[in-house]
Structure 1
């Protein structure tokens, strides 16, 4: 656990973060946050991966994002505004996270400017990913999005269902099957 954090911050900062956090295990299919919950925590993914998913009143699922190991999961805008989350955060396989209470995080930020800079870098990284994803959905065809997906998330197509991949790409599973068939010929 410490080793993973040492990849992104100095040892003394790891100790400070661990002092306010708790390791938590989640099973595949378990939710870190449910739509409608007011989140009070965010987490660092130590192992496993997660998806952000909207579910409409018909039960249709729309995968907003995939969050891999060594990254943060959060319904950030809901957490900072103390309002209900609009999406679920689902463990896609058994996972281990470092659960971080937001109020304790705020206190940590007050004690050391490092944490403000760290937060800014994390937000910039998330914003850049979101901007790229929006651009891809608006400008690229489905086949190109699928090929880019395979490059961005190597091997993930063997870890999740084709339906979830299609949901992430913004297409129907039948369209993904057609794309995969065309690429294999």
Structure 2
């Protein structure tokens, strides 16, 4: 719980009653590897804060191939926030890559916090902006770099994920085949 509060406090101030309200509204869940936190075609119903584990955002392209779009690990929020907030069906899946333990807010509890804590919306806006910035910063170089450079950038940006995420997901994220990734890994050792 303290990890969640410390994270939120980076984006705004909260008094003890507000912190108590947040702690009262959140519950801890366990999500086994392979399970979905949110699914394409369904309205996301919760916001999570990852205590342990790794999630990936993925979708299917027009050829039916599964594409990994992004990874989320410990001490970060995980949700399809825009669709959660708008109460609209998601276009991506959010899947547990490893066994995960997280703190979760239901839509009702999130709205209760928003309606009770003054400036909660400003804190949330700053969190969402930071998350989007991190995503863009990690994806932008992938467009113009060769495969080896993309993999080296991935290692630099996500050092904790390299040995926790299946190669097929990393290859998909980098936009290369698993065989190419295996060759690249062999060549840089």
Question: Cα–Cα, structure 1 residues 11 and 151, in superposed 2: closer, same or farther, change >3 Å?
Answer: farther
The whole-number CA distance in structure 1 between the counterparts of 2:32 and 2:63 is 25
* CA drift at 1:103: 3.0
1:133 to 134, 138, 141: 138
Q: Is contact 2:48-2:78 (8 Å) kept? A: yes
SS in 1 for 2:162: helix
Q: Is contact 1:54-1:64 (8 Å) kept? A: yes
2:94 to 64, 89, 98: 89
Per-residue CA deviation, residues 44-64 of structure 1 (Å, 9 max, x unaligned), is: 111111001113475521111
The whole-number CA distance in structure 1 between the counterparts of 2:36 and 2:102 is 12
* CA drift at 1:77: 2.0
1:36 to 10, 35, 41: 41
Normalised TM-score (structure 1)? 0.89
Aligned to 1:171: 176
The whole-number CA distance in structure 2 between the counterparts of 1:58 and 1:138 is 20
CA RMSD across the alignment = 1.9
Q: Is contact 2:171-2:177 (8 Å) kept? A: yes
Aligned to 1:66: 71
* CA drift at 1:80: 2.1
The whole-number CA distance in structure 2 between the counterparts of 1:11 and 1:32 is 30
The answer for unaligned runs of 5 or more in structure 2 is: none
Aligned to 1:19: 24
Q: Is 1:4 paired with 2:3? A: yes
Q: Is contact 1:109-1:116 (8 Å) kept? A: yes
Aligned to 1:180: 185
Q: Is contact 2:44-2:84 (8 Å) kept? A: yes
Question: Cα–Cα, structure 1 residues 3 and 88, in superposed 2: closer, same or farther, change >3 Å?
Answer: same
Question: Cα–Cα, structure 1 residues 130 and 155, in superposed 2: closer, same or farther, change >3 Å?
Answer: closer
* CA drift at 1:117: 2.8
Q: Is 1:78 paired with 2:77? A: no
Q: Is contact 2:44-2:87 (8 Å) kept? A: yes
* CA drift at 1:37: 1.1
1:100-111 to 2 correspondences below 5 Å? 100-111=105-116
The answer for unaligned runs of 5 or more in structure 1 is: none
The whole-number CA distance in structure 1 between the counterparts of 2:112 and 2:21 is 11
